[in-house]
């Protein structure tokens, strides 16, 4: 369902579904109760100014009865954000695709306390591309190759590639070396991520996640690994490395959840989306995009530095 409000400052308007009936006489009464933790005067003022709209951009006024609109759109008040001291690097751009190197600590899309400080919003504003949409996602703590669709008309053809697993993704990681772990190996398990729980859990049952793990090099107890996920579950690589006894360096979630703390930008999670390969659905030609980033926790140790 298309929003009747345009993207503003790189951020989409928020859509809210209203109940068909209830004890609220107006749509505004419902919104006030739904968001009772938000400044009520600010909500009323937005209704009075016509900044809350229904389908077709019809203003929803303070006296608009509940039931007149199923959906409403509005611009939410954005949090004050401190700029994350990292930068995006554009690897490729054409009329259909934008490929970037996403740094560690920057989320792919707005969420929680990060809105303007997300790859999507930064790029929309920087490149003046309000229709930009991510084709896939990387965890906030993971760096590397990230693809965006620049053309709404061809976006779906690229999204289908990811949905049907017709994309080969290769990651690299730095983690301890376990001499007893036979590598390369393929880890298969059943992963479950609840919306109400921070961590992804490994459960008994039929596997729904698969990762190939290969050791590329090692030095002083640290290994440089290549990871190839054949599925795309949340935190899959981090969980499979941890369950194999070689948790990724600087991972604050797995195998042990550490106390919440501010980001330490000197210790990024040592996980990098190195490359993406697929056959372009428009041209039929094979394409590959590779990251220019490095996992610095391993390289200095190879060169003999402490």
DSSP 99-156: EEEEPTT--SS-BTTBSSSSHHHHHHHHHT-TT-EESS---TT-EEEEEEE--TTTHH
Residue 1 placed within a domain: no
CATH assignment at residue 106 = 3.30.2350.10
Residue 144 placed within a domain: yes
Residue 168 placed within a domain: yes
Angle between helices 27-34 and 40-48 (to 10 degrees): 150
Burial of 12 (0-12, 13-18, 19+ CB in 10 A): buried
Same domain, 239 and 118: yes
The whole-model pTM stands at: 0.88
Q: How many Cβ atoms are within 10 Å of 100's Cβ, its own excluded?
A: 21
- The token duo for 131 is 């229709």
Domain's final residue, options 27, 48, 74: 74
Same domain, 30 and 156: no
- Cα–Cα distances (Å) from 28 to 13, 38, 250, in that order, read 17, 13, 46
Same domain, 239 and 116: yes
Same domain, 66 and 98: no
Nearest 10 degrees: Cα torsion 224, 230, 232, 236? -40
Same domain, 34 and 147: no
Domain's final residue, options 43, 74, 105: 74
Same domain, 44 and 121: no
Residue 8 placed within a domain: no
| Spatial distance between the Cα atoms of 256 and 275, rounded to a whole number of angstroms | 28
* Domains of the chain: total: 2
Residue 4 placed within a domain: no
Residue 180 placed within a domain: yes
CA atoms within 13 A on the CB side of 33: 10
Of 88, 5, 110, the closest CA to residue 54 belongs to: 5
Q: What is the pLDDT of residue 39?
A: 87
| Spatial distance between the Cα atoms of 69 and 27, rounded to a whole number of angstroms | 8
- Helix, strand, or coil (residue 186): strand
Same domain, 217 and 180: yes
Residue 114 placed within a domain: yes
Same domain, 69 and 179: no
Residue 247 structural domain: 89-302
Same domain, 138 and 27: no
Residues contacting residue 178 through CB under 8 Å, at least 6 positions apart: 244, 245, 246
Same domain, 214 and 286: yes
Cβ atoms 133, 185 nearer than 8 A:
no
Same domain, 145 and 59: no
In a structure prediction context, what are the per-residue pLDDT tens digits for the chain, which is 306 residues long? 789 999 999 999 999 999 999 999 999 999 999 998 888 999 999 999 999 999 999 999 999 999 999 999 999 888 788 999 999 999 999 999 999 999 999 999 998 889 999 999 999 999 999 999 999 999 999 999 999 999 999 999 999 999 999 999 999 999 999 999 999 999 999 999 998 888 999 999 999 999 999 999 998 899 999 999 999 999 999 999 999 999 999 999 999 999 999 999 999 999 999 999 999 999 999 999 999 999 987 665 544 444
Q: How many Cβ atoms are within 10 Å of 247's Cβ, its own excluded?
A: 19
Cβ atoms 5, 13 nearer than 8 A:
yes
What does residue 183 show for φ and ψ, rounded to 5 degrees?
Answer: -130, 150
Length of the chain: 306
Q: What is the pLDDT of residue 299?
A: 65
Same domain, 66 and 192: no
Residue 32 placed within a domain: yes
- Cα–Cα distances (Å) from 275 to 21, 146, 225, 261, in that order, read 50, 9, 14, 30
């Amino acid at each position: 369902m298309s929003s009747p409000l345009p993207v503003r400052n790189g951020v989409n308007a928020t859509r809210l579904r209203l109940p068909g009936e209830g004890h609220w006489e107006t749509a505004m009464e419902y919104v006030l109760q739904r968001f009772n933790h938000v400044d009520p005067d600010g909500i009323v003022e937005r209704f009075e100014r016509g900044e809350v709209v229904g389908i077709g951009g019809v203003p929803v006024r303070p006296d608009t009865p509940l039931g007149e609109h199923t959906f409403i759109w509005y611009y939410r008040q954005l949090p004050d954000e401190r700029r994350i001291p990292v930068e995006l690097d554009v690897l490729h751009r054409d009329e259909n695709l934008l490929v970037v190197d996403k740094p560690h600590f920057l989320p792919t899309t707005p969420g929680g306390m990060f809105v303007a400080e997300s790859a999507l919003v930064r790029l929309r504003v920087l490149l003046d591309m309000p229709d930009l949409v991510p084709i896939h996602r990387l965890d906030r703590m993971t760096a590397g190759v990230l693809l965006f669709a620049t053309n709404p008309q061809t976006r779906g053809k690229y999204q289908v590639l990811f949905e049907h697993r017709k994309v080969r993704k290769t990651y690299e990681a730095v983690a301890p070396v376990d001499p007893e772990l036979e590598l390369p190996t393929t880890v298969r398990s059943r992963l479950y991520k609840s919306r109400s729980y921070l961590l992804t859990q490994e459960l008994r049952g039929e596997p729904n996640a698969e990762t190939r793990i290969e050791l590329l090099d090692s030095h002083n107890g640290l290994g440089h690994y290549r990871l190839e996920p054949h599925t795309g579950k949340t935190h899959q690589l981090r969980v499979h490395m941890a369950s194999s006894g070689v948790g990724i360096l600087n991972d604050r979630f797995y195998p042990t959840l550490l106390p919440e703390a501010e980001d330490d930008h000197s210790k990024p999670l040592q996980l990098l989306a190195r490359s993406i390969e697929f056959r372009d659905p428009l041209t039929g030609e094979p394409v590959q995009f590779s990251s220019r980033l490095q996992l610095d926790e391993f390289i200095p140790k190879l060169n003999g530095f402490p």
